[in-house]
């Protein structure tokens, strides 16, 4: 007989994700989006365990729910979930009878392990019902102690469970409590800002501001004003005094994305601020003290950049107290089904849909695709597929041509490789036109993947105009 689990969380997405994950692992799951509704369901039905968020949107919190459940049925296992790493809260709920306390971001396998262990102990009679486990401390896996990384359409489950992800968060655990400056390296779309914010939230500066700045979008003239602020009248258009990012981040963390794009002049000013912890607004005379932790990110290796004379070596060494490489999605294949479910759940809620998940074929394609745009591209693909599907399961037909063509191209290359190792045929007929067309197709697809399917850049590299490129792509999409 299946064990019955009640999930109480005011985050509907979290309820959906836990429901799907636990159901797939053989549990019967019901959910409630408020404490009151959860208690109502608990009174009406029998549950073996309850997973309850500590912070609920209604008047009841996790402690209230725990006490009511224990009063109704002392045998029921209660796990408290929270995004707030508060040891005192953990000890309090355990003293009141909770079996365990799990911090966000949740790792599904960790939840499953704790739940399985609790139910096993309940079945063997080793879980005390009315004698709380006062000596137990919090569940302290290095990853379950992570705080929510971002509120930009991200969720606790985006931590992932692959070996590459676990190694990434192991490094974050080590460096986050320090004041080290950090360089984050990673391809576009790997989530560098999310990781920067995760580091901030795990640091001693977590109650101070986290300010992010994209250096790649700013002109030389605007970069100084954005970083250091300006005084009214200091340049044309400076109609009022303005605080810069250093002022806004004072006491907290300043994240500079695409830092290699800063001009030499701004790099020199930045070095002075880091060395002296003082700065002046553009057009100002007063020096201001500042205390910030700096995290920078770059697609380009900054060591190579300073060797080429594009970046200051002294500034590089100031930043490079610790560096972290973010793995691309193609190296985290075990995480892909989890990300797919997350993006599906999020988009369904946005579009008010209730689909039945993904067809097996499309999930295989997700896993086998190289994802040059990483999580950002993956999210957009799932959103598109949900939009194009009205009912049932999401099928391959909803995927954009870039993915289907790439998968077909990779399969063709694989078959060609296999055929090259086979015994030669007795007679071979060669269609030169067809061969040339295939070669052209493979060249175009290779360049498109190289520039993350930016068709303007691809046209420049292929030395053809944009319209010609579009026409060729259109011809490849049409049945031959």
| pLDDT of residue 148 exceeding 60 | no
pTM, two decimals, is: 0.55
Question: Do 299 and 187 meet the contact criterion of CB atoms below 8 Å apart?
Answer: yes
pLDDT digits (tens, 9 = 90+) for 278-330: 988 888 888 899 999 999 998 888 989 889 888 999 999 999 999 999 999 99
Q: Residues of the chain with pLDDT > 90: what percent?
A: 32
Average pLDDT over every residue of 102-121: 80
Which pLDDT score is estimated for 178? Answer: 93
| pLDDT of residue 406 exceeding 80 | no
pLDDT digits (tens, 9 = 90+) for 45-102: 999 999 998 888 777 888 889 999 988 988 899 998 876 445 566 667 777 888 887 7
| pLDDT of residue 132 exceeding 70 | no
**What are the backbone dihedrals phi and psi of residue 342, each rounded to the nearest 5 degrees, phi first?**
-65, -50
∠29-386-109 over CA atoms, to 5°?
40
Which among 306, 257, 239, 250 has a CA at the least distance from the CA of 273?
A: 250
d(CA 322, CA 313): 15
Burial class (CB in 10 A: 0-12, 13-18, 19+), 17: buried
Which among 358, 362, 356 has a CA at the least distance from the CA of 391?
A: 356
pLDDT band at 184 (very low <50, low <70, confident <90, very high): very high
Question: Do 9 and 52 meet the contact criterion of CB atoms below 8 Å apart?
Answer: yes
Q: Residues of the chain with pLDDT > 70: what percent?
A: 81
Which pLDDT score is estimated for 165? Answer: 86
Which among 412, 408, 354 has a CA at the least distance from the CA of 386?
A: 354
Which pLDDT score is estimated for 257? Answer: 92
Helix 35-44 × helix 62-72 angle, to 10°: 10
Going from the C-alpha of 272 to that of each of 154, 167, 219, 231, 302, the distances in angstroms are: 35, 34, 20, 20, 19
| pLDDT of residue 405 exceeding 80 | no
pLDDT digits (tens, 9 = 90+) for 459-480: 777 778 776 776 777 666 554 4
Q: Is pLDDT larger for residue 198 or for residue 463? A: 198
d(CA 321, CA 226): 25
| pLDDT of residue 244 exceeding 50 | yes
pLDDT digits (tens, 9 = 90+) for 412-450: 455 555 555 555 544 445 455 565 667 777 778 778 777
Q: How many residues does the structure list for the chain? A: 480
Token representation of residue 47: 């549950």
Token representation of residue 69: 């459940």
Average pLDDT value for the chain = 80
Question: Do 182 and 175 meet the contact criterion of CB atoms below 8 Å apart?
Answer: yes
Which pLDDT score is estimated for 459? Answer: 79
């Amino acid at each position: 007989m299946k064990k019955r689990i009640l999930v109480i969380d005011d985050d509907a997405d979290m309820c959906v994700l836990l429901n799907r994950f636990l159901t797939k692992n053989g549990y019967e799951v019901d959910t409630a989006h408020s404490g009151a509704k959860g208690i109502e369901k608990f009174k009406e039905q029998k549950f073996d365990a309850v997973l309850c968020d500590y912070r609920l949107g209604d008047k009841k919190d996790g402690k209230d729910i725990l006490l009511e459940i224990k009063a109704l049925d002392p045998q029921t296992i209660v796990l408290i979930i929270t995004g707030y790493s508060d040891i005192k809260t953990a000890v309090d709920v355990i003293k009141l009878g909770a079996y365990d306390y799990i911090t966000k971001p949740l790792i599904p396998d960790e939840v499953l392990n704790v739940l399985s262990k609790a139910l096993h102990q309940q079945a063997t009679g080793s879980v005390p019902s009315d004698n709380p486990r006062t000596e137990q401390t919090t569940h302290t896996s290095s990853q379950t102690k992570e705080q929510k990384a971002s509120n930009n359409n991200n969720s606790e489950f985006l931590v992932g469970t692959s070996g590459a992800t676990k190694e990434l968060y192991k490094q974050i655990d080590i460096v986050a409590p320090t004041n080290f400056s950090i360089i984050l390296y990673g391809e576009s779309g790997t989530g560098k800002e999310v990781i920067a914010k995760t580091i901030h939230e795990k640091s001693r500066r977590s109650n101070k501001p986290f300010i992010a700045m994209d250096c790649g979008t700013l002109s030389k003239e605007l970069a100084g004003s954005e970083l250091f602020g300006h005084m009214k009248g200091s340049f044309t258009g400076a109609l009022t005094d303005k605080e810069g990012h250093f002022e806004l981040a004072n006491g907290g963390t300043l994240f500079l994305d695409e830092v290699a794009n800063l001009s030499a002049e701004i790099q020199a000013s930045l070095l002075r601020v880091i060395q002296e912890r003082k700065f002046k607004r553009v057009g100002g005379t007063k020096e201001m003290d500042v205390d910030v932790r700096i995290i920078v990110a770059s697609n380009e290796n900054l060591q190579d950049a300073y060797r080429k004379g594009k970046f200051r070596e002294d500034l590089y060494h100031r930043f490079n107290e610790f560096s972290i490489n973010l793995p691309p999605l193609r190296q985290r294949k075990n995480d892909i089904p989890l990300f797919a479910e997350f993006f599906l759940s999020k988009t369904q809620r946005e579009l008010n849909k209730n689909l039945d998940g993904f067809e097996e074929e499309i999930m295989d394609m997700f896993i086998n695709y190289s994802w040059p745009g990483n999580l950002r591209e993956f999210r957009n693909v799932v959103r598109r597929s949900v939009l194009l599907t009205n009912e049932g399961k999401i099928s391959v037909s909803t995927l954009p041509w870039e993915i289907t063509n790439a998968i077909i191209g990779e399969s063709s290359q694989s078959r060609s490789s296999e055929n090259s190792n086979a015994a030669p045929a007795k007679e071979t007929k060669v269609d030169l036109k067809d061969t040339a067309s295939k070669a052209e197709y493979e060249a175009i697809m290779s360049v498109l993947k190289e520039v993350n399917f930016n068709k303007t850049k691809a046209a420049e590299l292929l030395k053809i105009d944009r319209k010609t490129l579009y026409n060729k792509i259109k011809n490849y999409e049409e049945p031959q």
